[in-house]
Structure 1
Amino acid sequence: MKKSGYAFILALAPTLFLTGCSEDRIVSSGPVLEKVVLLSRHGIRSPTASPAALRDKTGFDWPQWSVAPGEMTPHGAEALGAMIQVVRMHYQNLGFSPLGSCSNMVRIWADGADHRTQQTGQVWARGLAPDCHVSAQWQEQGADPVYNAIAAGREAPQKQETEQAFASVQPVARTLEVQRGLQALQALMAPKACQETGRKAWCLRDKPVLEWKKTEPHLAGAVARGGMAAESLLLLYAQGFPAEVFGSGKADVPALLKTVMPVHEAESLLLRRLPVVARARNGVMAQSIRAFLADRPVADIPGVTPSTRLLVLAGHDTNQDAMAAIFGLSWTFDDQPDSTAPDTVLAFERWRYPDRHVEVRVRVFHQSLEELRTGQAAGVEASMQTLEPHNPILP
């Protein structure tokens, strides 16, 4: 796994007083880790549509899950717990004090819109501080603007700018990788759909288009349907389903997933990673991260105080896509075809040096495809990447 040694460095103005870390500066002669934001995707879940609904969309016979559509599974909670233990030990080994004692320095804020993200926050609370009374919190009513400011009615992407940005990334859908992925999905799910009358909905040849529902754009077309199907296949494998459920792809399921997942990645690039959409949907989240790292009030996340040193956000792959777009981040994995797979964690760290300049480092932690399937995380720390943000994080 290739790692970038680059870290974004910014010297704060002398008038900006950063609180809560003087003790660490006294005892350390090197850089001190002062604050961390962890943005976690939820654990392994079932597809958000029922097997019958998925078949109507794709022509493929999808198996039944043990949980309702869109719910995190017990295996998903187990795999997430393994990830959390590795992340916890990583920061404990760095001497990050919030994980060394029971205090009010940890805040866990989950997306209340989905049960799976609420559960994810609870798993983080148990795993980060098992001997303390840390709990996950979330907004009880309505859409949380931190996780989706468009749904909350606070922001809306400008339509003309969005359409122009969408047009500029159309070549993504025509790349060889994406076309091979669509062909593999077609052969697996409905190999005769493009030739048979009445099954054109299962044919993965139509171009990507934007459809507007009120003020929010949605992706439609072959890449949207194929991306959904590719992710659903990956979730089956991560959950531990037997090879037989993958039909003609059963001989080598990891190879199948490696072939089809570029369609899901293209789905993200065509909409969720458009900066204009990301800023509208998750600009509040980005601003909250910036404010927290700069010791400014975090108005949209209740309970974050001047003493808070660790902020955990339990959200979705869409949130990680948005942070990638807003901060100019990019990453891939050799052992995991989904760049925002379940349990993936984006970490934003603030380090202070003896000369008082600060450095924001961005990391990404992930589990390999096989680790997700087995509920393990042994290789997470070794495969951690340091990312290069191309846009400022601190103000």
Structure 2
Amino acid sequence: MNQFEGMRRAFVCASWMMGGVLATTCGVSFAEVQPQHAQIARADESAPAGMQLDRAVIVMRHGVRAATDTRKMNASSAQPWPAFEVPDGELTPHGYRAIVALGRWEREYFVHQGLLDPGTCASAHDVFVWSSPASRTQATARAWLDGVLPRCGVEAGHAAENQDTLFHADETDADSADPHEAEQAQAAMLAAMGSPQAASRRYAADVAAMARVVGAPHACVEEKGASHCGLYAAPWGVKVVGNAAKLTGPVAVGAAMSETIRMQYADGWPLERIAFGHVRSSADVIGLMGLRSAKYAYTNHVPLIARRGGAPLLERVTRALNDDDRGETGEGDARLQVLVGHDTNIAQLRTLLNFDWKLGEYRENDAVPGGTLLFERFVRERDGAVFVRVSYLAQSLDQMRAITVLKGRNGPLKAVLRDADGRTLIPLDAFDAQVKTALKP
């Protein structure tokens, strides 16, 4: 039973045009509420009337990167995948520049809200940045600082790779984990599927679409036939490997193919090089993202998986919002704290917060490159009451591809969380209670 079982959810969305791009705000609550429009946020918007923004915490995914496992994708395709200009898994130069553009927008936003000083480096002591140990997240942290505090001498920190309990909590102690946890995770993932056969039927069209793009190894096709090769080489399922539960079947490599095609497009590649020439627009890219959606539906969007991996990060955010930082990573009393991680971190926090979104043409609950969970703490001036607003914001694919200057209504897409009473400004004690419930086994 997950922590929200028995509670009805209300899904609320509002759409508008932003710089020629369709943007949508959505909120999911813990009880049924009447549909109402979520707040539309812009770079030049003011704090809610009578409120002062006095602290913010950002949890963001790294920017556009190279493929993470080209060898594995090559083994399931008819032809080799073209290489990025950087090694597998690294942030690309184009991805760096796109994060700088996002950082510049965020600087404008926080200056307008009064959280940062208009002077370029005047707020350097108020900003703290910490990343996962991965080189792409470290590079993303530097790019973000280049956008927000250029040449101000602020540096981002990170833990050693084998000591990162914040962004990789479910991996750091894998060797000492209870072997039964893997079996519990396997059962939870299978329950999310319904059954491997149900997953196979649900995503049959997505597998077929990707198979048309990538083909299958010729030698295998000649020996076994196309229906037993490439993405069709193994059936859907979940298996225990060591102390972890892993997806098997088309999704195991197909999700990486989906994300690699998105990275190619966002990285500004010529269309004839993207997806072996099968893409003509961002809509074509989104059409090939089904297997990545499947991967997250059956892993980090499963409450048990999200709780095990995301609890330390959500607790860290909550402590910051409560002025209880404990100085674990040197953050002190920084008013703006930035934690740079991975799509897994965004997906796990999304699940724990029960926060659903639909941004523009992206698929539901997509954790896109550079996508950001923004936690803002507001103080009501008349009585000192404290409130939290949680948003998810991201550049559109075409904004990343063109490295668009983000300004005004041509800013990033944004969605805002609503609580059970339909509020986007949630009392801090109510937010803390929500987190406590989410983290309870």
**TM-score normalised by structure 1 residue count:** 0.84
Alpha-carbon offset, residue 108 of structure 1? 0.2
Alpha-carbon offset, residue 243 of structure 1? 1.9
Matches of 1:257 and 1:132 in 2, distance apart?
Answer: 38
Matching of residue 309 in structure 1 with residue 335 in structure 2: yes
Q: Using the TM superposition, name which of 217-226 and 73-82 deviates more.
A: 217-226
- SS of the aligned residue for 1:342 comes to coil
Matches of 1:142 and 1:247 in 2, distance apart?
Answer: 35
RMSD: 2.9
Alpha-carbon offset, residue 347 of structure 1? 0.4
Alpha-carbon offset, residue 312 of structure 1? 0.2
2:248 maps to what in 1?
A: 220
From 142, 147, 150, give the equivalent of 2:167: 147
Structure 2 residue identity aligned to 1:234: R
Matches of 1:389 and 1:58 in 2, distance apart?
Answer: 45
Matches of 1:345 and 1:282 in 2, distance apart?
Answer: 15
Matches of 2:51 and 2:116 in 1, distance apart?
Answer: 14
Alpha-carbon offset, residue 315 of structure 1? 0.8
Distance 1:6 1:253, change over 3 A: closer
Matches of 1:330 and 1:84 in 2, distance apart?
Answer: 24
**TM-score normalised by structure 2 residue count:** 0.76
2:126 maps to what in 1?
A: 105
Q: 2:76, 2:231 within 8 Å by CA — same for their partners in 1?
A: no
Alpha-carbon offset, residue 133 of structure 1? 2.4
Q: How does 1:1-395 map to 2 (within 5 A)?
A: 1-4=23-26, 30-50=50-70, 52-97=71-116, 101-112=122-133, 114-130=134-150, 132-153=152-173, 156=177, 158-171=181-194, 173-174=199-200, 178-190=203-215, 196-198=222-224, 200-204=228-232, 206-246=234-274, 249-250=277-278, 252-298=280-326, 301-305=328-332, 307-337=333-363, 339-353=366-380, 354-378=382-406, 381=411, 383-388=413-418, 393-395=431-433
Alpha-carbon offset, residue 290 of structure 1? 0.8
Structure 1 residue identity aligned to 2:416: T
Matches of 1:281 and 1:120 in 2, distance apart?
Answer: 21
1:16 maps to what in 2?
A: none
Alpha-carbon offset, residue 245 of structure 1? 2.2
Matches of 1:214 and 1:145 in 2, distance apart?
Answer: 20
Matches of 1:251 and 1:214 in 2, distance apart?
Answer: 38
TM-superposition CA deviations, 1:105-127 (whole Å, max 9, x none): 21100111x11111111112222
Alpha-carbon offset, residue 68 of structure 1? 0.7
Matches of 2:172 and 2:419 in 1, distance apart?
Answer: 28
Alpha-carbon offset, residue 366 of structure 1? 0.8
Matches of 1:357 and 1:61 in 2, distance apart?
Answer: 58
- Percent identity among equivalent residues? 24
Q: 1:180, 1:260 within 8 Å by CA — same for their partners in 2?
A: no
TM-superposition CA deviations, 1:20-54 (whole Å, max 9, x none): xxxxxxxx98111121111111111100123x442
Q: 1:107, 1:304 within 8 Å by CA — same for their partners in 2?
A: yes
- SS of the aligned residue for 2:339 comes to strand
- SS of the aligned residue for 2:350 comes to helix
Alpha-carbon offset, residue 246 of structure 1? 3.8
Matches of 2:375 and 2:410 in 1, distance apart?
Answer: 17
Matches of 2:24 and 2:201 in 1, distance apart?
Answer: 24
Matches of 1:138 and 1:329 in 2, distance apart?
Answer: 27
Q: 1:55, 1:62 within 8 Å by CA — same for their partners in 2?
A: yes
Gaps of 5+ in 2: 1-22, 31-47, 421-425, 434-441
Distance 1:135 1:7, change over 3 A: farther
Structure 2 residue identity aligned to 1:291: R
TM-superposition CA deviations, 1:138-174 (whole Å, max 9, x none): 1135241000112221885823432332122115835
Structure 2 residue identity aligned to 1:189: V
Distance 1:68 1:239, change over 3 A: same
Distance 1:81 1:196, change over 3 A: same
Q: 2:303, 2:352 within 8 Å by CA — same for their partners in 1?
A: yes
Matches of 2:419 and 2:163 in 1, distance apart?
Answer: 28
